[in-house]
Amino acid sequence: MIQVIPFSGINVKVNKDGDNEINIYPNPSGDGHFNIIAPSLKLTKAKIEVYNAIGEQIFTASNPHQLDLSRYPDGIYILKLIAEEKNFISKIVVQK
């Protein structure tokens, strides 16, 4: 199932396929730290990108299992996980 989320005038499609679901927790995060679990994917070769509310890329990392956004202000962010030639997009919230 594909869910469309409006994001800064752009429609973001979120893959909700049960076989390829990613779990990001806690969400919202009280301190800006997130854990990323993707049981059906190999995250060792994955890339993560985080975008702010106006669509600017603010963070990128390889081998993502944990995400630290503690230095960024409270708000809603878009996380993009690229793994095994697949893209997964999720909304994450920092609320300190």
Residue 30 reports pLDDT greater than 90 = yes
CB 67 within 8 A of CB 22: no
The mean pLDDT value for 63-90 works out to: 90
The mean pLDDT value for 26-39 works out to: 92
Residue 2 reports pLDDT greater than 50 = no
Reported confidence tier of residue 59, pLDDT bands at 50, 70, 90: very high
List, as one string, the DSSP characters of 74-88. SEEEEEEEEETTEEE
Average pLDDT over the chain reads 81
Best CA proximity match to 10, nearest among 40, 49, 55 = 55
In this structure, the strands spanning 33-37 and 86-94 are unpaired
What pTM, to 2 d.p., does this model score?
0.77
CB 71 within 8 A of CB 31: no
Residue 12 reports pLDDT greater than 90 = no
The mean pLDDT value for 14-20 works out to: 51
The mean pLDDT value for 37-64 works out to: 87
**Beta-bridge partner residues of 13:** 4
